Structure 1
């Protein structure tokens, strides 16, 4: 089965949500993603949460972030990468 015809599952959606939010999908992959979101309430909620998180973090300046919290976030991020 071609990828464009294959159904996207929740795990694949979670792995690709950043690509979607950055609008970096090819048209067929984006359609598969959006089809899954339209059919899966849990994933629709997850995508909405991620959009809100990106929006909120985009409004936060580095000066507003407590230096200790910033260091903990960066340490955790690097550990998970």
Structure 2
């Protein structure tokens, strides 16, 4: 496993949703890579400080349309 793959899989690892062989590759990489080990520690600290994020709120349909129009017009 390389560093890019580890970054893509970090949330799945923390959720416990990796299959056994992938989880082992993940752990093996962490054991050998100081940079990824530091990244994992930062991720864990962030989770500990922030806790769980609230469930996403849905925007009213008209407000969503207004925002999308504003962004489209801004890009022009």
Deviations along 1:9-51, whole A, 9 cap, x unmatched? 0000011111011111111110000000000000000011101
Cα distance in 2 for residues equivalent to 1:60 and 1:25 = 22
1:16 paired to 2:12? no
Matched residue pairs, number? Answer: 54
- The offset of 1:60, in angstroms, is 8.1
The corresponding residue for 2:34 is 41
After TM superposition, where is structure 1 displaced by more than 6 Å over at least 4 residues in a row?
none
CA distance in 1: counterparts of 2:13 and 2:52, whole angstroms = 20
2:30 is the counterpart of 1:30: no
- Larger-gyration structure (1/2): 2
Query: Which residue number in structure 1 is paired with residue 51 of structure 2?
Result: 58
Structure 1 residues not aligned, in runs of 5+? 1-7, 62-81
Structure 2 length-normalised TM:
0.65
Query: Quick one: distance in 2 between partners of 1:59 and 1:14?
Result: 20
